[in-house]
Structure 1
């Protein structure tokens, strides 16, 4: 497609960027392991996401074979919980994973997310989603959040449907090429350092790290902006408080 040198675009990650991914994680541990209120859910969640990204990268992207996907998902719980002195067998990890999946559709967008998307669209900004994961699973979340009422499906990109997984820059290049966008006009908002900051940086997009968990960088990459809330994101993208 011919390049559009004036069109500005903002793409969002899905999990833990548009909605709180910690909620299903907390509910799964409470249901299967009976963890109490004093368990450090947020640090444990961060380590689970770390191992999820790490293992996915070792597979060369989100696994497409159900056997490999199941093994990766179980291992991320075993590895992350072991850091908090909880050792679980594979069967129990699978039970946590099943409960975690069942709760992932009882979700709502972060306060301010819908309003930000609508304000961007009002200004003529192209808004979309780039997310890793199996197509059906990610689409179920998108339906649960009612996102198709505000973002056209042709502006939603799921790694499992394309065969390209963040942080591979080819995924971001594919999106830019589809709409004739130039990298300097593209912004990406995401919480994952490995997938979002590294991936979008490699494609020379403007990177907004949505670090609402207050975690530390994992490499020498430098996001253009760091935001901890949707108020921060709104100020960053719209210049408003």
Structure 2
């Protein structure tokens, strides 16, 4: 079957791009550890993500299925390492309870305001709309279903590192997307919150990148530059729909 010809395409990251990734983290920390409003949740969240990316890359875990012992151990260790930086020494059992509560809350998430509407309007403007996300396939699909994104993204336009075989920032995952969708790098936009995984990875693949910097963080490097930066879906709408005119 011949692939449909598209003029432009936009792919979104999932975690902390389609929904607020901090919320399940904050809720788990409050529920399990009894932390109050004075705790620096956002800095802790960034350190948890740092250790998650670091340990997963070192162990080649982004392609493992949920329930794999090595993957489950990594998810527990990331909490122990991150919380240790904030003076909270967790036992293995405490970190395991934290991970279990976090995972439960991951499946009770809601999209950012305006996210679904933007995807709908982009499709109406003639864009191919898709998702590219790191993680085990089943785990990421659970989140996509929890966000109810299936009516906005065709299954063949959902690309998960655990299924593709490459993980961001490896540019080969973006090349695989181009090959499977019949698109080319010069017609593709990528929207993501992570400087390392999203801005750097998509830039290396020759894609146009919009950095969804809703947390107002500083760029991690100087050798890469996004084509635009947005702090809300309203700003993303202006940048992307202007590209369709």
TM-score (norm 1): 0.93
Partner of 2:59: 59
Q: Is the 8 A contact 2:134 2:161 kept in 1?
A: yes
Partner of 2:196: 194
SS at match of 1:209: strand
Distance 2:119 2:2 in 1: 26
Q: 1:131 aligns with which of 122, 125, 133?
A: 133
SS at match of 1:128: strand
Matched, 1:167 2:180: no
Which blocks of at least 5 consecutive residues in structure 1 are unaligned? none
Q: 1:227 aligns with which of 230, 240, 243?
A: 230
Distance 1:197 1:61 in 2: 22
Distance 1:63 1:124 in 2: 32
Post-superposition CA distance 1:5-50 (Å, at most 9, x none): 8620000001110011111101110111000011111111112112
TM-score (norm 2): 0.92
Partner of 2:210: 208
Q: Is the 8 A contact 1:64 1:134 kept in 2?
A: yes
Partner of 1:44: 44
Q: 1:122 to 1:54 in 2, by over 3 A?
A: same
Q: Is the 8 A contact 1:4 1:181 kept in 2?
A: no
Distance 1:47 1:223 in 2: 23
1:61, CA displacement in angstroms?
5.0
Q: Is the 8 A contact 1:3 1:182 kept in 2?
A: no
1:219, CA displacement in angstroms?
2.2
SS at match of 1:93: helix
CA RMSD, aligned part only? 1.9
SS at match of 1:39: coil
Structure 1 stretches of at least 4 aligned residues deviating more than 6 Å after TM superposition: 1-5
Partner of 2:20: 20
Distance 2:92 2:153 in 1: 38
Distance 2:151 2:4 in 1: 25
Q: Is the 8 A contact 1:53 1:194 kept in 2?
A: no
Distance 1:44 1:68 in 2: 23
Distance 1:4 1:157 in 2: 18
Distance 1:61 1:105 in 2: 21
1:4, CA displacement in angstroms?
8.2
1:122, CA displacement in angstroms?
0.5
| 216-225 or 192-201, larger mean C-alpha shift | 216-225
Q: Is the 8 A contact 1:10 1:125 kept in 2?
A: yes
Partner of 1:185: 187
Which blocks of at least 5 consecutive residues in structure 2 are unaligned? none
| 54-63 or 179-188, larger mean C-alpha shift | 54-63
Partner of 1:29: 29
SS at match of 1:147: coil
